[in-house]
Amino acid sequence: MAITQLFKYFQKFTPLHLDNEEQILLESKFIQRRVKRRQMILQEGFVCKHYFFVAEGCFRMYGIDDKGYEHNIQFAAESDWIADIGSFHSNKPSKLFIEAIEPSVILQIEQQDLYFLYNNIPKLNRIFKVIIENKYVELQNHVLQTFSSTAEQRYLSFLEQYSDLASRLPNTQIASYLGITPEFLSKIRKDLTKK
């Protein structure tokens, strides 16, 4: 069950387990949702109303440039979070899309419900602070690599960060994340197998 997975996820962050009352409160604020492959859970121009916990499946967050090219910013699979945090906290329209790459199951929570949980389960406030800090570090590293690393170095870093996803994602999605063409990604993979 997705909510049990969420409870286990939170246990990684604190030696203090959620008691029964806290678990019931937490469960009351999250909504479970099934998402079809290629279904959007966020589109550009809409406010990101939910924070999403991925219980099953895989998602990508991406933007589209003025030439119509898609640029993947982030992937999220089982036991990971995805949201346009800027839009979620500011209530401003998003410039991003979040799409399911596979059939998925998510738990979603609205801003007011998340803030309610922060006030009523104080340890969650600290846990979410760590989650957001970790995502920020990932994003910083990705931006830094974009202008300071070779395509091969970026690919090796991708394999390290998303080791469980490398075989699940189409080449086009990985190449978009790396800022290269799928053909160049194939060349990098061939070169690495020769080494």
Q: Find the distance separating the first CA and the last CA of the chain, reported in whole Å.
A: 43
pLDDT number for residue 195? 74
pLDDT of the residue at 163: 82
According to DSSP, residue 112 is labeled H
Query: With 0-12 CB in 10 A as exposed, 13-18 as middle and 19+ as buried, what is 178?
Result: buried
CATH for 2-123 is: 2.60.120.10
b vs e for 143-161, b when ≥16 Cβ sit within 10 Å of the residue's Cβ? eebeeeeebbebbeebeee
pLDDT given at position 16: 64
**93 CB contacts (<8 Å, ≥6 apart)?**
44, 45, 46, 47, 87
* Residue pointed to by tokens 């060349």: 187
List the chain residues with pLDDT less than 50: none
Residue 70: Cβ within 10 Å count: 14
- pTM given for the model: 0.90
At residue 1, the pLDDT reads 83
